[in-house]
Amino acid sequence: MDVTISPSILNCDIANLASEIEKVRNADYAHVDVMDNHFVPNLSWGLPVVEAVIRQDILPVDAHLMIEDADRWAPAYAEVGCDSVTFHAEAAVAPIRLAREIRRQGAKVGMALRPATDITPYIDLLPEIDMLLVMTVEPGFGGQSFLKSMMPKIRRTRDAISAANLQVAVQVDGGINRETICLAAEAGANVFVAGSAVYKAEDAYSEVEALRQLAKTHC
């Protein structure tokens, strides 16, 4: 599958939203982290900021919902125009029904797993989603160190997808930079969320291109 780069705006200057997204206009998505201070111990932003990013019409929005009661709230993010909506398996009571509702609203469906959550119970759900997000840090805060211990999990996920002959993307989020993107790509990931590495770079546009090329070649 094609390499996809999705910079997280968690590390951008939200007061200058349009110019910050314009810096990464060569990316595939703008990744928006929604945190409710319940599912994770941090509070970011919600639907109004997501709608503001969509209104810029610079990049499609990849929304990552780190929120409780995903069954209730996730479809609204698809309804307002997110291209992709990712909910956490741990926060969904009826993940299949939720996935189908998100898709009915016109968005692609992502399902995320915390580092300690095993992929095995969710393998049968893979046909219902477009993307499986393997968190490579504990969700809730940007700037954390990449968990190399997640590489076997990424491999198991990619193997399960291949065995079922599915076109499901594998996303990684957390600690992605020029070194770690190589490890994740080699393990089987093809969608990469990078926050600090992009927005703290001297040239965010060039950093997106550098990360893309490294992922394509597995370094």
Residue 142 has pLDDT above 70, yes or no: no
Instruction: Give the active site residues.
Output: 33, 173
pLDDT digits (tens, 9 = 90+) for 188-211: 999 999 999 999 999 999 999 999
11 conformational bin, left if phi > 0, alpha if psi -120 to 50, beta if neither: alpha
Residue 158 has pLDDT above 80, yes or no: yes
Q: Which residues contact 107 (CB under 8 A, 6 or more apart)?
A: 77, 78, 82, 83, 84, 85
pLDDT at residue 45 in the model: 85
Q: Where are the domains of the chain?
A: 4-217
Identify which has the larger pLDDT, 24 or 142: 24
Q: In this structure, which CATH number among 3.20.20.70, 3.10.20.30, 3.90.198.10, 3.50.50.60 belongs to the domain 4-217? A: 3.20.20.70
pLDDT digits (tens, 9 = 90+) for 159-187: 999 999 999 999 999 999 999 999 999 99
- CA atoms in the 13 A half-sphere facing the CB of 43: 2
Q: Rounded to an integer, what distance in angstroms lies between the CA atom of residue 210 and that of residue 219?
A: 11
Q: Rounded to an integer, what distance in angstroms lies between the CA atom of residue 133 and that of residue 157?
A: 10
Q: Rounded to an integer, what distance in angstroms lies between the CA atom of residue 130 and that of residue 84?
A: 9
Angle (nearest 5°) at CA 128 between 170 and 49: 65
pLDDT at residue 116 in the model: 96
Residue 7 has pLDDT above 80, yes or no: yes
User: What is the share, in percent, of the chain residues with pLDDT greater than 70?
Assistant: 99
Written as six digits, the tokens of 65 are 């919902």
Mean pLDDT of 9-22: 91
Mean pLDDT of 14-36: 95
Residue 83 has pLDDT above 70, yes or no: yes
For the chain, report the end-to-end CA distance as a whole number of angstroms.
17
Strand partners, 30: 61
Number of Cβ atoms within 10 Å of the Cβ of 132: 27
Residue 140 has pLDDT above 90, yes or no: no
Q: Rounded to an integer, what distance in angstroms lies between the CA atom of residue 142 and that of residue 194?
A: 10
Lowest mean per-residue pLDDT among 12-16, 53-57, 85-89: 12-16
pLDDT digits (tens, 9 = 90+) for 56-68: 999 999 999 999 9
pLDDT at residue 144 in the model: 77
Q: Rounded to an integer, what distance in angstroms lies between the CA atom of residue 104 and that of residue 1?
A: 24
Quote the pTM value.
0.95
Identify which has the larger pLDDT, 108 or 15: 108
